[in-house]
Structure 1
Amino acid sequence: MSERDLIRAGAMTVEFGDGELRYFRIGEKEVLRRVYVAVRDSEWRTIPGRVTGLHSEIETHSFYLVFRMRHESEDGNIGFEWEGSLVGAEDGSVTFSMDGEALTDFRSNRIGFCVLHPASAAGVEVRIQHTDNSIEEGSLPDLIAPHQPFFDIRGITHKVSAESEPERWLET
C-alpha cells in the first residue's frame, strides 16, 4: 500500500494512511471526515504515532487491514503501542478495533478513538447510545463550539444529511 490509499466497503469509499481513516464517502457525499486513535498526555498534547507493520487484503468492494502503531514522546517518557484491525465489508460497514499496551508508566487524558464529522453534518439528527445502553436523541451542533455536546458515548447513529431521502443513517 502507498502512503494514502482509497479502499472500498460496498458503495462506501474511504482513504487509509498513517493508521487512520479519512473521507468516508457514499458516491460524492462525505459522511465522515476522519476516524483515528489518539494518545494524549496529561496536558492534552497528542503523542504522534507511526505505523510499524501492516498486513492488507484489498478486494474490489471489501478490505481487511491489520497494523501496529507506536506512539513515543520526544523525551521518551511516554510509550504506547497498539494493534489496529480494519474490516470493510461489501454491505458498506467498516469496523475499526484496537488493542494497546503502555510501554512506560505515564498519565493520559485520553487513549482511544476520535471521530470527526464533516461540516455537512452540522444540524443532522443523532441518536446517542450511552455506556448504560440508554438512548438520547438530539442533533449535531450547527456551529463549532468549545464544549462537548454529548457525554458518556458508546455509539452514535446519525442521518447522512439533514435532507437525505430516503432516510439513511450512519452508525459510528
Structure 2
Amino acid sequence: MTWTRERIRPIDLGDWQLQLRDDDLAQLTFRGREVLRSVRAVVRDRDWATAVWAVEHVSVAGSGATISLVSDAFGTRFEGSLSITADGASLSVSLAVSADREFWTNRTGLVVLHPARVSGAPLTVTHTSGDVSHIAFPEEISPHQPAFDIRALASEGVTVTFEGDRFEMEDQRNWTDASFKTYNRALADPFPYLLESPVVQSVTVTVDDAGAPAPHEARPAGEALVLREREAGPIAFSVGASTAPGTGPADPVGHDLLVEVDLGWAGWSSVIERAAASGLPLDVRLVLPLEDAERAVARAIDALADVPLARIAAIQPPTHPHEHMSDAQSTRILRAALGDRDVPVIGGTRSHFTELNRGQHLVPD
C-alpha cells in the first residue's frame, strides 16, 4: 500500500533524511541509503475504512521533528502526534492518538513499510516473549504473514524495534505494492476492539556501527523475457457482466461476456437467458450450491447447450471449506457434466490475487 497525495516536505535530521508526504513519513534514509519506505499512523474503523489525517503543524528543530495530526472521520475527532528523534545511528518515531468519543477499531497505530529490495534477505525476528527466529524476507509472494508476534526485526545491519502492541508482517506484493508491511494488532486478536485513548506506540530504527551494509545480492536474473509481435490482436478480456435479470442486456462490449451464475439461487436460469441475449460467447463462472452440486451443474450445462462458450469454471460456494475457489471436486463435477463438449475449463478464484495465492494448491491442472 502506498499513501501519498503528493504534498511533499523534506525533513533533514543530520545523517537521517525523510519526506513528509501529507501524513506519511516516507523514504527514510541513513547517509543516503533507504532504510524504510514508510512509517505512518493509521486509524481503521470496524469495516477497515481508513481515516484521512490532516497535518495541522510541523516543527523541525535540530535532531528532532514534531507533526500534529487531526482527523474528523466516522463521527469521531481524532488527534495525533508524531515525534521524530534522530540520535546518531538511531531514529525513533513515537505516536500518540486520542479520540473524543468511544470508538471501535480494527487497527489503530503505527504501520511500517520495508522496501521490496529486501526480498530474500536474512531476517532475525525477536518476539514479545524474547524468543528469536531466524528466517528470511520472502522471495516469492508469500500468501501468509512471514512473521508474527514481533518485537524487533533485524536485517542487513538494520534493526527495527516496535513498542506499544504486538506487531506482525504481511507481504504487500499480494496487493501489487512492492513492499513488506509490519503493522500493529495481530489479526489473530479479536476485532473490532474498543480504542483506549491515548494509543501510544513507537518504532525505533538503528543502523549498526559500521553503517548499513550493501544490500544482499539479488537472485541471478533468469532467462530474459522476449516480447514478439503477434499477428493476432491483443488478448481479449471479458469486460461485461450479467448477474441478475433485468429490463434487458446492455449493448455488447468486447469479444465475450463474463457471467457469474449462482446455482444456489432459484432464478439462476434467468441469468443465463439474459447473458445469452447479448449474442456474445459467454465466459461462465458457475457457483455451486452446497447440496446436490452434480445435479445443479448438469442442469446448468443443459441450459447452456445452445450458447457459445468462451470458457467455463465451477467454483465452491461461501461457507464451503474451499469457498470461492475452483478445486478438484468442483472441476470434476463440471467436466463430467460437459461430457464431450469442447469448452476450455479454467480454474482460480472469484475473489482476488491474495486468495488465489493462498489457495493455488487447490486448483487442479
TM over 0.5: yes
Matches within 5 A, 1:43-54: 43-54=47-58
Partner of 2:9: 4
AA of the residue aligned to 1:87: T
Task: Provide the secondary structure at the position in 2 that maps to 1:117.
Answer: strand
Per-residue CA distance 1:106-136 (angstroms, 9 max, x = gap): 2111111111011101111112122222222
Alignment map for 1:1-172 (pairs within 5 Å): 3-10=8-15, 12-27=16-31, 29-58=33-62, 63-73=63-73, 76-89=74-87, 91-159=88-156, 168-172=157-161
CA contact (8 A) 2:11 2:60 kept: no
Give RMSD over aligned pairs.
2.1
Opposite residue 123 of structure 2, the aligned amino acid is: V
Cα distance, 1:151–1:104 mapped onto 2, change above 3 Å:
same
Asked if structure 1 preserves the Cα contact closer than 8 Å seen for 2:41 and 2:110, the reply is yes
Report how far residue 146 of structure 1 moved. 4.5
Q: Which amino acid aligns with 1:46?
A: T
Query: 8 Å contact 2:10–2:17 — kept in the other structure?
Result: no
Q: Hey, what's the Cα distance between the residues in 2 that align with 1:13 and 1:30? A: 9
Cα offset, 1:44, TM superposition: 1.5
Greater radius of gyration (CA): 2
Within 1, Cα distance between the matches of 2:42 and 2:68? 14
Structure 1 runs, 4 residues or longer, greater than 6 Å off:
none
Task: Tell me if the contact between 2:57 and 2:68 (Cα under 8 Å) persists in the aligned partners.
Answer: yes
Unmatched 5+ stretches in structure 1: 160-167
Superposition deviation, residue 27 in structure 1 = 4.8
Amino acid at match of 1:84: L
Identity %: 28
Measured after TM superposition, the shift of residue 4 of structure 1 is 1.4
Give the drift of 1:35.
0.8
Q: Is the 8 A contact 1:155 1:171 kept in 2?
A: yes
Contact 2:40 2:110 in 1 (8 A): yes
Moved more, 16-25 or 125-134: 16-25
Question: How far apart are the structure 2 equivalents of 1:101 and 1:37?
Answer: 12
Paired letter, 1:48: V
Q: Please give the alpha-carbon distance, in whole angstroms, between the structure 2 residues aligned to 1:38 and 1:143.
A: 27
Greater relative CO (CA pairs within 8 A, separation 6+):
1
Distance, in Å, in 2 between the alignment partners of 1:135 and 1:69 is: 35
Change (3 A) 1:169 1:84: closer
The answer (yes or no) to whether the contact 1:80–1:103 under 8 Å persists in 2 is yes
Q: Which amino acid aligns with 1:86?
A: I
Tell me if the contact between 1:130 and 1:154 (Cα under 8 Å) persists in the aligned partners.
yes
Q: How does the TM-score come out when normalised to structure 1?
A: 0.78
Distance 1:128 1:116 in 2: 16
**Which residue in the other structure is 1:162 paired with?**
none
Inter-CA distance 50–136: structure 2 relative to 1 (3 Å threshold): same
CA distance in 2, matches of 1:23, 1:48: 20
Q: Which runs of 5+ in 2 are unaligned?
A: 1-6, 162-365
Q: Is the 8 A contact 1:23 1:32 kept in 2?
A: yes
Q: Distance in 1 between matches of 2:146 and 2:23?
A: 27
The AA in structure 1 aligned to 2:12 is I
Q: Cα gap change, 1:9/1:157 in structure 2, threshold over 3 Å: closer, same or farther?
A: farther
**Counterpart residue identity of residue 150, structure 1:** A
Indicate the structure with greater strand content: 1
